[in-house]
Amino acid sequence: MRIGIWWYQESWGGVDTHLLALLSHWPGEDQFVIIHNEDNEGLKRIRNDLSAIPRVSFHSVKTSKRYFGLFGRIVSYFFLPLTFAFQILRGIWILKRVGRIDAFLCTNGNYPGAWSGLAALRSAKFLKISKRMLLIHHEAQPRRVFLNTFENLIDMSVQKSATDLICVSLATRKTIIDRRGFNTEMNPIRVIHNGILFGEVAYDKKVDLRKTFNIPKTEFLIGILGRIERYKGHEDLILGLSELHDSEKRKIRLMFVGSGEEIELGRLTNLAIASGIQDRITFCGYIPGNPTSIVAQLDLLAMLTKDFEGFGYTIAEAMSAGTPVLATRVGAVEEFVSDEFAKLVPPESPSSIADALSEFLKNRKSFLHRAKKSKNHIRSFSAEMMAKRFHRLLTT
């Protein structure tokens, strides 16, 4: 069987981690062709790993912003009905160029996410591709008021065009139903939790955090991994640290691993200066390589998302590496994490974060005990089992 994967994405994140885990543990002898936008940062991060998997090929597609820049994006926004119809026709043309496809998987970040992917589902149906799956990783966005009617029609089209609707968590599934009105009687929405790549942590000596950033062993490394965006909660960690006693602050070094917009980086830097803890924070930038090898070097992983987490891959990777976790109770986090395995706090609560940091310094053994238990617990979320579930749906 030849399976086409439609993957339009600008930044890197959990979607690319999921795809790598899925294809590297695929149980069959099927062929894959990944249809992607040429500026897909997620693909750039894992392309070498994907290329090492037998039977995986790539088909690059130019996007509208490459053709017309910012003007093209503005036009596509205000003339969505016309551009969506054009994308359906373009999808037919692209899929014909790719050649025979027996099953089609569109992987989207949030919903609606990439409109071209939703249009491609319609294209795949027109071409009579028998299996057409839409995979949603993050939350659904409410319909925009001035486009409510058209977006409602698109939602109906998606439910009719997809033979299978998959979410990575119950939390994501709930937003699809509550915010977009998906009818589960028309088309069931299944949940397949993300799978984790296990095995020994491949410690990359080229990425030694302490050596690279000259951090003494007397300081605990507490880090956030991922793109630096406001909803990720970096500012809450800064504010939480600022509430500690000076003697406690000196024992902690915050590691922000990931890239971000200059405006957001500047805002966090100014906040750190105003809080008097600028010497306690290291902006590491994006570090290529195995994320688990980076997480394994931390004394505590902090994932402090403010409102919603579709799954929380970095949390799961920390659990698999035996690294203690501090996380917020948002979205799907509590579908695989509890107080038994990690320290959970309310979102946007710097005072709760401060209490957790202080507890970590005073009773680190309890955090390590949770981490040891979580390492066994997270093994039930294996990439192998996830791949088997996708394989069964796409090939039968």
Least confident of 41-50, 166-175, 357-366: 41-50
Average pLDDT score over residue span 313-330 = 95
- Is 309:275 a contact under the CB 8 Å cutoff? no
By 3-state DSSP, what share of the chain in percent is helix, strand and coil, each rounded to 5?
50, 20, 35
Average pLDDT score over residue span 92-102 = 96
**What percentage of the chain carries pLDDT values higher than 90?**
79
Q: What pLDDT was estimated at residue 96?
A: 96
Q: What pLDDT was estimated at residue 198?
A: 77
Structural domains of the chain sorted by starting position, each given as residue range(s) with its CATH number in brackets = 2-195+382-395 (3.40.50.2000), 209-380 (3.40.50.2000)
The per-residue pLDDT for range 5-40, each reduced to its tens digit, is: 999 988 778 899 999 999 999 998 999 999 999 989
In this predicted structure, the answer to whether residue 224 has a pLDDT above a threshold of 50 is: yes
The per-residue pLDDT for range 103-113, each reduced to its tens digit, is: 999 999 999 98
Q: What pLDDT was estimated at residue 273?
A: 97
Average pLDDT score over residue span 194-215 = 77
Report H helices in 250-349: 262-275, 291-295, 313-321
Other CB atoms within 10 Å distance of the CB of residue 194: 22
Q: What mean pLDDT value characterizes the chain? A: 92
Element spanning 56, H or E: strand 56-61
In this predicted structure, the answer to whether residue 208 has a pLDDT above a threshold of 60 is: yes
In this predicted structure, the answer to whether residue 64 has a pLDDT above a threshold of 70 is: no
Q: Is the dihedral of CA 79, 82, 88, 89 positive or negative?
A: negative
Q: In what order do the strands lie in the sheet with 164-167?
A: 56-61, 31-37, 2-7, 103-108, 131-136, 164-167, 189-191
Average pLDDT score over residue span 368-380 = 94
CA distance 319 to 342: 9
The per-residue pLDDT for range 245-262, each reduced to its tens digit, is: 999 999 999 999 999 999
In this predicted structure, the answer to whether residue 75 has a pLDDT above a threshold of 80 is: no
* 78 band by pLDDT with thresholds 50, 70 and 90: low
**What percentage of the chain carries pLDDT values higher than 70?**
94
In this predicted structure, the answer to whether residue 206 has a pLDDT above a threshold of 70 is: no
In this predicted structure, the answer to whether residue 155 has a pLDDT above a threshold of 90 is: yes
Q: What pLDDT was estimated at residue 353?
A: 98
- Taking Cα atoms as reference points, which of 282, 287, 219, 206 lies closest to residue 248? 219
In this predicted structure, the answer to whether residue 68 has a pLDDT above a threshold of 70 is: no
In this predicted structure, the answer to whether residue 69 has a pLDDT above a threshold of 90 is: no
Average pLDDT score over residue span 132-147 = 92
The per-residue pLDDT for range 300-311, each reduced to its tens digit, is: 999 999 999 999
Query: Taking phi first (over 0 means left), then psi (-120 to 50 degrees means alpha), and beta for anything else, what does residue 166 get?
Result: beta
Average pLDDT score over residue span 88-96 = 96
Burial grade of 141 (CB within 10 A; 0-12, 13-18, 19 or more):
middle
Average pLDDT score over residue span 47-70 = 80
In this predicted structure, the answer to whether residue 367 has a pLDDT above a threshold of 60 is: yes
- Taking Cα atoms as reference points, which of 139, 178, 186, 144 lies closest to residue 162? 186
Q: What pLDDT was estimated at residue 148?
A: 87
